[in-house]
């Protein structure tokens, strides 16, 4: 699976992003809510909240759903190594 790379301004609607092993999602502004879905049962539906400057690093291939926290605007960047 290749990483969906780019920059987004988020609202309350969840955005689906593919993350490859070692890729990362960084919250550049605001607060984001991230839900991880993966093939491994122990990692399925793992939620993470990121504040501005924090990042989520994919330890395995995964699909994440990310949205702004409580509907407030947020900005993210996704970078991969593949």
Q: CATH no. for residue 32?
A: 2.60.120.10
Q: Is residue 65 part of a domain?
A: yes
Q: Is residue 1 part of a domain?
A: no
pLDDT tens-digit map of 40-65: 656 557 899 999 999 999 988 889 99
pLDDT tens-digit map of 10-38: 998 999 999 999 999 999 999 999 998 76
| Domain with 32 in it | 6-79
Q: How far is CA 54 from the centre of its chain?
A: 11
Verdict on whether the full-model pTM lies above 0.95: no
Q: In what order do the strands lie in the sheet with 15-19?
A: 15-19, 62-68, 31-37, 46-51
């Amino acid at each position: 699976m290749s990483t969906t790379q780019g920059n987004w301004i988020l609202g309350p609607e969840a955005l689906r992003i593919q993350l490859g092993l070692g890729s990362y999602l960084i919250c550049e502004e605001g607060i984001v809510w991230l839900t991880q879905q993966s093939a491994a049962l122990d990692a399925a539906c793992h939620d993470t909240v990121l504040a501005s400057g924090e990042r989520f690093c994919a330890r395995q291939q995964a699909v994440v759903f990310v949205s702004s926290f409580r509907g407030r605007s947020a900005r993210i960047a996704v970078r991969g190594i593949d």
